[in-house]
Structure 1
Amino acid sequence: MAAPAAAAAPRQDGPALDGSGECTFPMKKQIEGTPWPLQRVLLDELWQDTKGKGVRVAVIDTGVDDVNQQLRDAVDAKAGKDYLKPDKKNPGFGDEKRGKTDGTVDDVGHGTKVAGIIAARPRKGTGFVGIAPEATIIPIRQNDEKNSGKSDTMALAIDHAVAKRADVINISQDTTQALKADSPMGLAIARAIKAGVVVVASAGNDGMDGKLKNTYPAAFPGVLAVASSDRNNERAAFSQSGTFVGVAAPGVDIVSTVPGGGQCVDNGTSFSAPYVAGVAALLRAKYPEWTVAQIVTRIQQTAVRSVNGRDNHVGWGVVDPVRALADTPGTPPSSPTPDPGPPKPPAPEPARLALSETPQERSERLATYALGIGVVLVAVVAGTATVIRDTHRRRGAR
C-alpha cells in the first residue's frame, strides 16, 4: 500500500513583521491600528444582521491557542482534537499546555492566526477583530512545522469536525500530490459537503513560477479554493494559480492573533482562506437554510471582478464581505455566472430617405438652367450676327 500523501506544512511567505522584524509569541504589545483588509469593510453594515453567533468553524491546522485574550471565549476546547503525537522535548506553548490533546496546543502559531482572522473577539487597544467575531472555533491539530500531517489524518480531522457539528471547515494546508476523489481525503471532503458543511481551503503559495497546477484539498469538487490578493486587488505573487481557484482574499501583510497574546503580521494564502471562511460563517448564520453550493456561489457572485467571469489567478474575483451579506431577493443560484457585459448601444433608427431636392430647390435649379441656356443662346445669336456681318463686308469689298 502506498504511503499516505503528506499534507504540505503551513507556509509563510516572506518575513512576518511586527515592526521589529520578528514575529515571536506571545507579543507584549498589540497592534493598535485597523488592518488594511478591515479598513475596506464597513463593519457596522457587515454585522447589521449577525456576527456569526451559533456558527461553528473547524480550524484544521497546527492547533489553536485559547490563551490569547481575543480567542479565549471563541474556542470550544471540548470539541477539539489533536492528531499528532506529543513532543516530549517541546510539549507545547506554556506549562499549562502540557499533555493536552484537545487541539489547543500550537507550537507554530499558524493555526492561531487562522482562527483569529475568522473569529477573534474585539479587544481594547487593537483595531484587529475577526470577520465573524461571535462564531465558535473547533480547534483540530493535524500538522506542525515538521510536516507531520498526512492526507489520511486530514481525512480523520474532517470527519471529526463534521461529528462535532461544524458548519464551516477551514483548511490552510495543501499538497501538490494528485489525490483522487476516492482517496480518504477526497471521500471525507465529499461527506462533509453532503452533511451541509462549507469547506474552504487555501490555494497554496507556490505560484511564483506562474504555472497552473492543482493543489489539494482545494481542488476537490465542492471546495471553495481561495487565492491571495494584494492591496491592489491583484494576485499576490506567491499565490498559486489554477483552474480550481474560486475566489481571492487579502493575503499580504495580514494581522492576526498569536499564541499567548497579542498579534503579528504574516503573508500567504493560509490567511486568505480564513477571511473567506469568516464570510461563510456569517452567511450560514444569516441564511441557515441555504445549501453549501448556494453559500459558495454567493461569495463568488458578489466578489469584485477583475474580468467578466473567472480567471485562473483570482477566480471569480476578490471577496467582498458586505456585498455577500447584502439582502438578496429570491432563491440564490447554485453556481456562479459571468456578469452581464457592458450595455449595448441602442439600435440605430432607420435612416429616412429623402428626395435629392425639395420642390423649391428643383424650381431654383430649373430657373438656373433656364438662365444659363438663355445666356448661351444670346451668345450664340450674337456670334452668328457677327459672322453674317463680317461675311457681307468681305463680299462688298470685292
Structure 2
Amino acid sequence: MPSTLRTLATLATAAGTLSAVLLTAPAAAADTTSDECTFSRTNHKYVGTPWALQRVNLDELWSQSKGKNVKVAVIDTGVDTKNPQLTAAVDGALGRNMLPPKDDKGKPVDGFKSKATTDTVGHGTRVAGIIAARPMKGTGFVGLAPEATIIPIKQNDADGHGTAATLAQAIRYAITAKAQVINISQDTANAVPPAEDLHNAINEALAHKIVVVASAGNDGLDANVKPTYPASYAGVLAVAASDRNNERAAFSQSGDWVGVAAPGVDMVSTVPQGGHCSDNGTSFSAPYVAGVAALIKAKHPDWTSREVVAQIEQTAERTINGHDIRVGWGVVDPVRALTEDDHPIESPRPDAGLTHAEAPTSGKIILGETPRERTARVATYVVIGAAVLVAGLGGGAVAFRDARRRRRLQGAASGR
C-alpha cells in the first residue's frame, strides 16, 4: 500500500484542530470574528505588516537580492493565480497536476481535472505567497523573494490523494522544469518511512544543485522526536516552527535532523481568489526558508544546494553553541544570510552565530581605593602642592623686598 501524505496546514491541540483564521485588519488572529478562511474575490486584505516580516529589514535584504530569475517549485495543493499578488509570480505554463485520474476505489479525482493554478484547499496558495507574493498597495504582506517565480505542482488535495509515489514524480518533474528550490510542506502519515523511490528522487534533486526545503511536522505537542519524511532525509533542509520569541512553537516536531527554525505562528499569507488569511504550522515555516534560499540562489547562482543550506544554518540566530534538536542551528536570519556571505561553506560552525545577549562580566572587588581613585588623589596633591609652592615663592619675594626696604630706611636714618 502506498505511503499517504498529509499537508501540514493546521496544528493538533488537545481540544482538536486549530483552523485558519480570516483576517480583516492587522489585528491578532484572536481578535477576528471568523474561525476559518474564506476564498472570495472580496476577501479582506491584511492592511498591516505581519510580525514575521517586521523582524526583517526588507530594504537591507532586498538591496542584496529579490530572487530574480530563480524558480521555486511548490509541491502542494496547487497555487491559485487569481490572487493578484500571485498572478505575476506563478508560471502557470510550467505547472503540472500530478494527481491520478482516479482514486484507489475507482472514483474520479476532482483535483486531476483542474490545473495546477487552481487550489480548492488554499494550502499551496498560502505557501507560495510566503515565498514570492508581489507587493500590492493596501497591504504590508509580501513574499520574502518578490521577484522569484513559482512553479505550481499540484500533488495533493483535501482528500489526501497524494502519496509518496506521486511526490517522487513531482520532484522529478521539478528537476525537468529547472527548479532551483523545491518546497515540500508535507510529510508521510504517522512518520512512516516511505518507499525508497522518494529518497532516490530527493537525491536526484540534490545532485542537480536544487535546494530542497521541507517542513519538520506538527506532532511536537507530545514531545515527538520521530523522524518525518522527506524532511529527515540527508541533504534536505528540515524547518521547524518558531514563535514570536524565537522559541520552538509548541506543536513543532523536534529531532537531530532539524536544520533551522522559522516563524510558523499566526502566519499571514495569500488565499485563493484574493486577500489574506492567518494559519499556523511548519507548513508555513518551510516556505519562509525557501524564500531565503531563493534570494541566495539569485545572488550566488553557482552555489551548490549544500552551500546554500549551510549558509542559512550558519547565519541563523542561536541561543546556544552548536545544534539544538528543537530549532536546529537557530531561527533563520534572512539579512545575515544575504550579507555575511563572503565565501561559500559546506557546513555550519558550532561556535558561530550566537546572537543572544551575554550576561555582563562581574566587576572585580577592590578593597580600598581603586587605581583610578589613587591617580585622581595624586593629581590633586600635585595641583595643591604646586599652588602652595607658587604661593610660598610669592610670599618669600614680598618678604625679601620688605626687608631690603627696611634696611635702606635704617641706613638713611643713621647717616643723618
Please indicate the TM-score interval, normalised by the length of the shorter structure: 0.7 to 0.9
In the superposition, the TM-score normalised over structure 1's length comes to 0.80
Output aligned runs, 1:65-84, within 5 Å: 65-84=80-99
* Equivalent of residue 141 in structure 1, options 138, 154, 179: 154
Match of 2:182, SS state, is strand
C-alpha distance in 2, partners of 1:178/1:190?
19
* Equivalent of residue 334 in structure 1, options 342, 346, 349: 346
Match of 2:221, SS state, is helix
Question: 1:273 aligns to what?
Answer: 286
Output aligned runs, 1:78-227, within 5 Å: 78-85=93-100, 91=110, 99-101=113-115, 103-175=116-188, 176-179=190-193, 183-227=196-240
Higher Rg: 1
Q: Which runs of 5+ in 2 are unaligned?
A: 12-17, 24-31, 362-416
Question: 1:32 aligns to what?
Answer: 47
1:9/1:146 contact within 8 Å kept: no
Q: Which runs of 5+ in 1 are unaligned?
A: 93-97, 346-398
Q: CA deviation at 1:307?
A: 1.4
Q: Which amino acid aligns with 2:86?
A: L
Match of 2:144, SS state, is coil
Q: Deviations over 1:124-158 (max 9, x none)?
A: 00000000001000000001121110000000000
Q: Deviations over 1:160-203 (max 9, x none)?
A: 001000000000001244437x7111000000000010000000
1:5/1:177 contact within 8 Å kept: no
Q: Given the superposition, is the C-alpha separation of residues 327 and 311 from structure 1 closer, same or farther in structure 2, using an over 3 Å criterion?
A: closer
Q: Which amino acid aligns with 1:16?
A: A
* Equivalent of residue 79 in structure 2, options 52, 56, 64: 64
Q: Deviations over 1:186-233 (max 9, x none)?
A: 000000000010000000000000121100000011000000000000
C-alpha distance in 1, partners of 2:191/2:252?
17
Is it true that 1:302 corresponds to 2:315 in the alignment?
yes
Question: 2:338 aligns to what?
Answer: 325
Is it true that 1:44 corresponds to 2:42 in the alignment?
no
Q: Deviations over 1:216-273 (max 9, x none)?
A: 0000110000000000000000000111100000000000000000001000000000
Q: Which amino acid aligns with 2:284?
A: F
C-alpha distance in 1, partners of 2:295/2:125?
20
Match of 1:174, SS state, is strand
* Equivalent of residue 68 in structure 2, options 42, 46, 53: 53
C-alpha distance in 2, partners of 1:302/1:320?
6
C-alpha distance in 2, partners of 1:314/1:186?
24
Q: Which amino acid aligns with 2:8?
A: P
Output aligned runs, 1:251-262, within 5 Å: 251-262=264-275
Question: Mean alpha-carbon deviation: is it higher for 43-52 or for 270-279?
Answer: 43-52
User: What percentage of aligned pairs have identical amino acids?
Assistant: 59
Q: Deviations over 1:8-61 (max 9, x none)?
A: 233312232222223111252101000001011100100002211100000000
Is it true that 1:293 corresponds to 2:297 in the alignment?
no
2:9/2:279 contact within 8 Å kept: no
Q: CA deviation at 1:289?
A: 1.3
C-alpha distance in 2, partners of 1:113/1:201?
15
Q: Which amino acid aligns with 2:88?
A: D
Output aligned runs, 1:367-382, within 5 Å: none
Q: CA deviation at 1:332?
A: 2.1
Q: CA deviation at 1:99?
A: 4.2
Q: Deviations over 1:303-347 (max 9, x none)?
A: 000211111100000000000000432x3210112125889x9xx
Q: Which amino acid aligns with 1:197?
A: I
Match of 2:150, SS state, is strand
C-alpha distance in 1, partners of 2:89/2:192?
35
Q: Deviations over 1:94-116 (max 9, x none)?
A: xxxx9443x11211000000000
Match of 1:138, SS state, is strand
1:55/1:284 contact within 8 Å kept: yes
Match of 1:264, SS state, is strand
Q: Given the superposition, is the C-alpha separation of residues 214 and 36 from structure 1 closer, same or farther in structure 2, using an over 3 Å criterion?
A: same
Q: CA deviation at 1:91?
A: 4.9
Match of 1:256, SS state, is strand
C-alpha distance in 1, partners of 2:321/2:302?
29
C-alpha distance in 1, partners of 2:91/2:110?
21
* Equivalent of residue 19 in structure 2, options 15, 38, 41: 15
Question: 2:377 aligns to what?
Answer: none
In the superposition, the TM-score normalised over structure 2's length comes to 0.77
Q: CA deviation at 1:89?
A: 9.2
C-alpha distance in 2, partners of 1:261/1:208?
33
Q: CA deviation at 1:86?
A: 6.1
Q: Which amino acid aligns with 1:315?
A: G
C-alpha distance in 2, partners of 1:245/1:190?
18
C-alpha distance in 2, partners of 1:335/1:9?
30
C-alpha distance in 2, partners of 1:231/1:120?
22
